[in-house]
């Protein structure tokens, strides 16, 4: 019997070997970032072109408004869907909507674009909640496995992801610039279709990478939680009972406003009058490159809420400078200086976006990791709230921008920035005070 037991003990490491060979959380984060690079290089550039290549009946702009309205509504129920599917499957399923949207753009009609936009709204809601949940889980697992500070590790992972996401604007728009040679009408039909076929190929590569992700370990969930409409409403209402969530919502709203400002106002009212439609790709590439650099740098500088507050303050200041410049001093003009001004505005706005968007995602992941909204999956509910408010703001800008002046839009953005920054500073004070009381 002793000899048999010795043989079993000797064989035991062979049984445990597959667990030891699992891919590291850091490798999964790299794969996730690469997958989003391919998918959103294609989608981001396609989105920027909607108002110029699908102009008949404002099909492109209206489709984006429908898309983000759908995104907002479905974000309300995205949390339980991601909880049921798991973040990896949510990522894979969510990417299908982006493929369908690109296919619809190859044959753009009301009968293809509107259904594709509605479906993409649902897919976008689950892919982004899945992304936030997956990346946070991978970062915190990496920190625990290697005895690293959770705040700094989450900042590093988030900075890498959002740096790569910001670079998609540069990559996708350079593709647009190369393949759409006719700047007067948004490019020839042949060039446009070739561009969208290339976009489709990029998305397929991204989906394959998502399929290669490891399954993240999931917390136990109460299945009865999703059994009724009343229970579903808990996902909407319960997070709003947390004072920290209420204080961070204004910054979530502003994040959506400032993204939509670039897509719907900056390209149309600031870039096009000076550089023409052909200049949109170059301006957006510079915007994306600046955002990528700032996201990567600020991610590695993040160590907790205090450092995040300093970085958000810097990003808010940069965008405030741009808004005051546009409100008080800017006017389109010719010559080299006139051509450089929109590019500089894009670079500064991208820098501010890279700082604030990176830190907001890191703060949401850090603040609500261990909190409980009743008996719900906290991370999914937190990121779902983020997308509800962010995408609602995007939809508002898309529907509002054709009907108000640039001056009115700039005043709206300035007021929103000051309110959101003030609420975030109050959040910092509340969290720091709470931590001091507990200690």
* Per-residue pLDDT tens digits for 299-331: 888 777 788 889 999 999 999 999 999 999 888
Distance from C-alpha of 50 to C-alpha of 53, rounded to nearest angstrom: 6
pLDDT at residue number 400: 81
pLDDT at 421 (0 to 100) = 94
Report, as ranges of residue numbers, the positions in the chain whose pLDDT lies below 50: 1, 4, 7-8, 10-21, 183-187, 219-230, 372-376, 437, 439
For 183-334, where are the alpha helices, taking DSSP H only?
Answer: 189-211, 229-237, 243-260, 272-275, 278-301, 305-328
Spatial CB neighbours of 55, under 8 Å, sequence gap ≥ 6: 186
The predicted structure's pLDDT at residue 376: 45
Question: Distance of alpha carbon 253 from its chain centroid, rounded?
Answer: 13
Rounded Cα gap, residues 201 and 204, in angstroms: 5
The C-alpha atoms of residue 164 and residue 162 are separated, in whole angstroms, by: 5
Report how far residue 71's alpha carbon sits from residue 211's, in angstroms, rounded to the nearest whole number: 23
pTM of the predicted model as reported, rounded to 2 decimal places? 0.73
What was the pLDDT predicted at 15? 40
Residue 17 in tokens: 């070997």
Helix, strand or coil, per DSSP, at residue 187: coil
Instruction: Identify the pLDDT of residue 51.
Output: 67
pLDDT of residue 260: 86
pLDDT at 251: 93
Cα 37-261-38 angle, rounded to 5 deg: 10
Rounded-to-integer distance, Cα 355 and Cα 313, Å: 9
């Amino acid at each position: 019997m002793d000899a048999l037991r010795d043989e079993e003990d000797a064989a035991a490491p062979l049984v445990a070997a597959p667990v030891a060979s699992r891919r590291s959380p850091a490798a999964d984060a790299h794969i996730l970032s690469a997958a989003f690079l391919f998918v959103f290089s294609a989608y981001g550039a396609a989105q920027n072109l909607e108002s110029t290549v699908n102009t008949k009946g404002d099909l492109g702009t209206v489709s984006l408004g429908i898309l983000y309205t759908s995104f907002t509504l479905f974000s309300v129920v995205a949390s339980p869907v991601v909880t049921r599917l798991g973040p990896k499957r949510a990522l894979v399923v969510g990417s299908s909507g982006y493929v369908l949207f690109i296919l619809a753009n190859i044959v753009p009609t009301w009968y293809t674009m509107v259904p594709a936009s509605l479906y993409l709204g649902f897919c976008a809601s689950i892919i982004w909640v899945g992304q936030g949940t997956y990346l946070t889980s991978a970062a915190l697992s990496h920190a625990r496995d290697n005895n690293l500070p959770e705040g700094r590790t989450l900042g590093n992972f988030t900075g890498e992801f959002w740096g790569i996401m910001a670079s998609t604007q540069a990559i996708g728009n350079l593709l647009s610039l190369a393949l759409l040679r006719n700047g007067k009408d948004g490019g020839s039909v042949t060039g446009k279709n070739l561009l969208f076929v290339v976009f489709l190929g990029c998305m397929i590569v991204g989906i394959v990478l998502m399929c290669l992700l490891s399954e993240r370990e999931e917390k136990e969930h109460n299945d009865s939680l999703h059994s009724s409409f009343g229970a579903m409403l808990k996902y909407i209402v319960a997070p709003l009972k947390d004072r920290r969530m209420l204080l961070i919502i204004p910054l979530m709203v502003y994040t959506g406003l400032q993204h939509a400002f670039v897509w719907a106002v900056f390209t149309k009212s600031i870039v096009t009058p000076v550089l023409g439609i052909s200049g949109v790709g170059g301006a957006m590439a510079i915007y994306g490159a600046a955002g990528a650099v700032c996201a990567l740098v600020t991610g590695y500088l993040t160590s907790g809420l205090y450092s995040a507050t300093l970085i958000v303050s810097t990003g808010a200041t940069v965008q405030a400078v741009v808004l005051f410049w546009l409100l008080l001093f800017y006017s389109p003009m010719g010559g080299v200086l006139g051509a450089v001004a929109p590019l500089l505005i894009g670079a500064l706005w991208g820098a501010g976006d890279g700082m604030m968007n990176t830190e907001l995602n890191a703060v949401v992941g850090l603040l609500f990791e261990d909190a409980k909204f009743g008996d719900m999956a906290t991370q999914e509910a937190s990121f779902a709230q983020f997308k509800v408010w962010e995408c609602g703001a995007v939809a508002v800008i898309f529907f509002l921008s054709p009907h108000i002046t640039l001056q009115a839009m700039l005043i709206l953005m300035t007021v929103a920035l000051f309110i959101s920054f003030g609420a975030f500073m109050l959040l910092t004070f509340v969290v720091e005070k709470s931590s001091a009381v507990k200690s």
